[in-house]
Structure 1
């Protein structure tokens, strides 16, 4: 229910402002000719799409705890394609419109516009956006390390600033004072949310809590846990199942940050993250000196018991996706079943902790090993029939799933086949685990 309310709030905000802006465009948005009017139409919707994109990544706590950064980021990625086409359409119609207005060739028109400060800034902003969006498509994203991809995304703040200056210098979208005030007030509200949530709050929290590494504990050859302490951690609004974005100062460059889940329920005294060595930052965690200062953003995520409405729950983890599941088990009450998917028992990190937490709670832990599809009959632990055999009352449970994307997709598909209500399914993708 909380998730649906948040979704409707976002939709209502976007639709209401879109209708107002559409009405203002009809009344005050006429360009110098018909083609330039179309160019202004696409430019206006390009700016509105940018506003929505900023809203989705502002990490507003109320939205994040109900929808989760996982879902918000997915929407942000999908809308990025719309942004791509709106940039191309706006640019194309501007060139076509001024070509018709001035009578020069399209290439000469482009050169003439590039000599105008406002137009040149718009071109620069568009170029940055197109490059970053192009590098965010699945084919390119898979070939970039998280740190490189994250650093490239920081260029979008530069493009945003340039684009705002471009809008201010153009100043011709609405030929009415009231409409102009409304438009820039909307931008101020959106940007204020971004600055407060993404910069002011993290800076204040880190100054207040003063996070430091307290211990580094290897869990296996390629998995390590880092214990972090600080001041007044009982005031940090963290819950089991959430994650934080971590920077270890002096150990890596400041732009190298990674999202790691809390692998233990927050206790007001310390925080723990557990990570598998899959990239440069995560691979170097076991070498972090005790006492290292930590800059942490968050906590983030809706993968918590905030949405739970039933007493019984099913916690499903794959690989290092066990980290938020282990934290949830520590906080869980009622009838709990844990399914832990790994290739071999040697890969089942934190398993002793799972058993220690499960025993006093009467929870059941099932470790599912073997490669998917191997053997005869094929090993398919998350097929609908196999899930139902392990958990006969699965449709009467809250289900939490965290693991690699193929596993998560397979589990969700089986849950739907078993008629588990959508509101009872809570998934966190491996990329944020």
Structure 2
């Protein structure tokens, strides 16, 4: 029973540690990914630092770096918590093994003492011959054989338990060292976070000195973005109107056929003196999203896009430095219809899902590409070059162009629209 209890404890401990190891591996990968993003942002900031004028992209990059640094510290805290759980589990296992080893040694000592008392063949024979009958003598012979076998097994159990105990102690020591290293790393990241916040404070002080120029830059950006959005909106509206005309024409033809068929049915009913059939109810006008998915291929693309919510790949390798929605930088208000992803100049920009290139336009010296996925549209702004044209079919992760440098940093503006409604891309792309 004690052996069974020991095996159960070791089995449960192995399962728990396996699950923890998996989580630990995931956390390590996440931490490494965050560090890569921080390093890329720092490269961009170093490049932009040579300019005397502070830009919105620089401020967003500094803020994003602080956010990433905080995420990394949070990930390290999770790693430490995992290690604490491992330390607790291993400590409990070590105590259990030590207790089991002590019990096994006591039992083995008792067997050794018994064997010492009955160590010569004469005493064993007397033990057998002292039996009441042949059956009891046979049982005593079997007992002596089984006792000898059990004593050997018990010695094996002690040896295995001692080996397992030594292994667990080594793992425990290794885990304690890992925790010590993580605590040092956490302290280093806290120091770097403090430097990042000092950099943020210095940037905001510089911003107050350049307030007029900074506000003018934001006004210019708003005007340019508004023009791009009008061009995209107009293209989508034209597509909707084209679909509406096609639907209206199809409805007109169907209504004419229905009218002719009804006239024939009425004439026949009158001739046969039967009730006149009821008129067919008018077809309800389709919504914008229904118009954009009124064919099988468009409906399939839209359904596939929806099913991949939260799993779409990043359109470019980088970090989100400006998020979706209304937010303020100093006293200036910004309404971002998508997200801005800072990456490396010339990096490949890729389609996030299968679709058809809906629009390629050159505005303010940079390319804009819009891809249609049924009633969904993905928009890629600030491309230096493009490798697709209107009407091209693209697959997920196909390269559509390269990222341009917008002033100080290379930044992709990425949007997702459902019909004419903007959606938050962070809810759709993979974490």
TM-score normalised per structure 1 = 0.27
TM-score normalised per structure 2 = 0.27
Looking at secondary structure, tell me which structure has more helix per residue.
Answer: 2
